[in-house]
Structure 1
Amino acid sequence: MSKGKTSSILVWILMAMLIVGLGGFGALNLSGTVTTLGTVGDEEVTLNEYALELQREIGVIEAQAGQAISFADARAGGLDQAVLANLIAQHAMDAENRRMGLSLGDENLAQELFSIPEFQNADGSFNRDAYSYAMEQARLSEAEFEESVRDETARRWLQAGLITGVAMPETYANTLLNYVGEERDVTIARLDADMLVVPTPAADDVTLRAFYDANLDNYMHPATRNISYAWLTPDMLIDTVEIDETTLRETYEARSGEYNRAERRLVERLGFATEEDAQLALDRMNRGEASFETIVDERGLQLADVDMGDVSQNELGGAAGEAVFVAPSGSIVGPVNSDLGAALFRINGILPAQSTTFEDALPVLREELAAERARRIIDTQIGDIDDLLAAGATVEELAKETEMEFGTLGWHANALEPIAGYEAFRAVAAQVKTSDFPQVEQLEDGGIFALRLDDETDATPKPFEEVRPQVLTDWTNSETVRRLQEMADGLVTQLEGTAAFDAFGLEARSEAGILRDGFVAEVPANFVSQIFGLEAGKVIAIQAQDHVILARLDAVRAPDLTNPNTQQMRQLVLQQASEALALDVYQAYAADLQNVYPVTVNQQALNAVHAQFQ
């Protein structure tokens, strides 16, 4: 197992050293006797490993988002369930490995421990004191840590055995690319009302009433669920939350990397054995004999292998940094000496330097911190509000006794009230019964609400006089399209093949290279899907709201699978599909193991862990 493979175990050590606020999770042991969260067969899932992994995953999300997230938000996203499921799958594999006798030997274990930089002296030799200190700070015994190294290694061996050689056949990628990359060329003409020989006549009330009756579903007041609710959101409290300047400045300094960043560049690096080899490759590209992609492919590599992502000049360092950061985007520089030897660098983009002063960042910082504090204030009130509801308080009384606001609405799928924009509210509003008691529910932004269904109103037709203008417009459009369709029916067969549209007085335009997910302006939404159902040379009439489109499929072109860009896409499709298949195989195996090794979870212990994160 390489150094990188031990990183997740080492992260656990470092996380345990950092999470002082949770007392090393010692407090999670409840009375001092409960240390197990659950079991998988004979394997134990401990409170500490669940808590550490949960904290680590929250840290990952915060790093990606660039801001702190509350535990309530993490739970709303299902993070706690994902962490628990992953630990259960790992322990199921541990149980299977023990059954098979698969484990890391003592000699290899020692080599692994000796290779971890955090346990080494300056000369690379093993530092016994550093190892013991790390175990002490992490509150792990050496035996526990070494057992975790053995387990992780065996787990990885088992995973590798499962997915090695799992690959999608090339015909999969070819079939997919042929489908996705196939193109259509079409000729399009529009038939409008002014092309009718006899204009659409005005309709009398008898005709309009008949159309209204025949299309009554288009003129209905929707069925509504009449709901009373009380709610509280961070935005309602944000103006009452005070954030002192010290906190604001500390947050600004802690996030200085977000507000003040040096210029970064999107770079690919292709290393060579010698500077002469690199220069020969560059000369071929300059003469147009080969592309950068071609050279990468000749080296037996993929673009992902040479992609460095976005880097700063300091990260590149030395001559490489100087050469790359004076060249324009899109250029290839080199040969330049790097830590891989002579190399060529391709610059794919420039991310300009960013500098934001404290004063400029202040409004956003204050709003973010105030919103976060408001969410915490709301979290602390949930228990009291639950108690009020349990004691029989109504939603109206919640608004009087707490900071919640009262409101009513006739809810339906297209309701426009602000609270109806929350998916959590919509889900409850759609299912609640009149017999249900109000309960505190959480909103996506950290707010809360409780609602009561008072009664329901059936859908009712809007009075004819109220909607008469809309009925008139709808009937006129419908009658116009009907007449235009008759005109189109007479033209369809005459326009098939290569007939000229202008010979029939039609103003046509051509659209070439249409893809299945392509966009064509000024046509109905189903235009592209209908075009891809036609045979070459055939014509179709497509109805729109007040006009008809005539379209002829002129050509069908398959993608060029020899094109370098298409080949690159093909490799990417195969790679992603193979990775997805390997993941499916692993997940199916892990799920099956959980049937072999029964799973139990101590819900009380799980709640205790979660309480420490509140």
Structure 2
Amino acid sequence: MITFFRRFFQSKIGIAVTLAFLGLIAFAFASADVSSTGTFGGVSGGDRVAVVGDKKISTSDLSRAASNAVDSMRQQNPTISTEEFIGQGGLQQVLDQLLEQTAISGFAEKYGLRAGTNLVNSEIMSIPVFRGADGNFDEDAYRQALAQRGLTDASVRDELRNGLLAKQILLPASYGATAPDKFAVQYASLLRETRSGAIALLPAPAFAPENDPTDPQLQEYYDENQADFIRPERRTIRYLSFDDSVVGDLATPTAEEVAARYEENSEAFAASEQRTVTQMIVSTQEAANAIRDRVNSGGSLAVAAREAGLQTAQIGPISQADYAAQISSSTVADAVFAAAEGTVAEPARSGLGFHVVLIDDVTSTAGKSLDQARAEITAALTEEKRQTAIADLSADIEEKVDSGIALSDIAQELGVDIATTRPVTGDGAVYEGQGETIPQVLGPALQTAFQMEEGKPQLAAIVPGQLFLVFEVGQITRSAVAPLADIRDRAIVGWKLSEGSSQARAAVDRIMERIKGGAAINAAVAAEDVTLPPIDSINMNREQLAQAGQQVPAPLALLFSMAEGTTKKLEGPRNAGWFVVRLDDIEAGTVAEGDPIFAQTKQQISSALQEEFGEQLRTAIKAEIGSETNEAAIEAVRKQLTGEQ
């Protein structure tokens, strides 16, 4: 989770803004560790968490940045809570990035780099979220976006200025870095390298104690692993939905209304004609007449055009008015729509020349009298009245919601029932509901529901003009560590796995000693008085390993980083057990410079070099500017964010 955070969120503005102006320097903030030198004064004040050079980072800066980071991460992981975020190191990550950004800004100022107001303005105007419907920068959209994120114009400008300064410093340091060919060949040959060995798994359950822990043992385990028992925030949602059925039967359009609509749209009900034509344009009247006579006598317009070195174009179906507008000539249109189907119209001239037009098809539509159009008009007017009624009703409900009318009163007015969900999490799942999810109608409103306060209804258009939802948050249960009494069975399972993992590690150490004494891995593992899974024999190259993408199992990754003839141990995730990894043989691979894998490897290493150069520069900048942190203030921010007293 934190790896994702490090890669994805680099500023207080969050995803809506950072992607717009930090894209070019995302690599520059991919990872960083900031050390507190303890040599700089001025950090002891209770309202500051750090001093970087001569710049102070306040507790409010850190709190706001952490809150914005959590809000942004919820777009990818809706159930994450502030407590979970901090428990997994998120607050420290936010602080590290604040320290780094401040150091880079101070370094830039120290050496005379600047990002002026006009440059910052241009960056703001280029951010898509700040644009209006016409595609241009919109001041109202800008202010609204900032208000939604709890930001100020000054803080946004500071972030943009810091980003621009970082680009000026970091991009030149890494731009154009290229791996030497010999270097790339060496690394590319590793992809053809084949390794053979064995991997033994010692699962924790095989060593787990059968007896339950004592109360003190369980309490100690629970206290040390509370981050594993954090429950997500849950909310109940009370809601009602309504559509146009609530407006009831509407008055039938009167004869006067139907007649008025008929008059307003008389052209739509008048007789009409559309034609599909094939035309060519020549420069003289004589040429046009000759081609017309030839085609009317049985010749082909396409052949005539080809012989003249010209081209034909088919147009339509099209009305006379549209055709006249397209060719900018009513005279030509009159001639074309006066000719019979299958004939060539009398040549007429437009600004382009003389038109020779073959009438391919004529489609006539008879007009409709008022009586003939009455049913169609009545249906249209009825639908319009229904849409107007539901729009007026939704506007009235919205006004009531804004004025604080209770959801029960709205339900009574509409004559519908209020439904209440069971406690749900931010991803729409019913808490402990065995895969149950919220009703589909609540889906578009879920994210909003997890940002609302209790008992304050809101109106949402689920299907604009057709289906509406009025909802409010009922009971809110904040994210917190579950009491031991509530998850005792789960904690017992965790304790047993933890104890089993400890015993598995002791077994691994014994196996390692046997191998060190000359025993084969099979014999060393078999000496344990526990039933274990069969040992996996490995014989594969790095290309096969790469096919797993980023999901390479950790034991395999270790196997391909070891020295030949060595044995190593590896702990599995979440007390799953331990591995013993033995590498018996390495068969070197060969790659020529013309091999496609060479170019690919060179490009990858060059990218890694660029990141390394940027990392080295950031490290040097932080060392030169210096920083000092106030652990007491950081702890105060942590408690404030988690609600801890």
TM-score of Structure 1 vs Structure 2, range by shorter chain: 0.3 to 0.5
> TM (normalized to structure 1)?
0.39
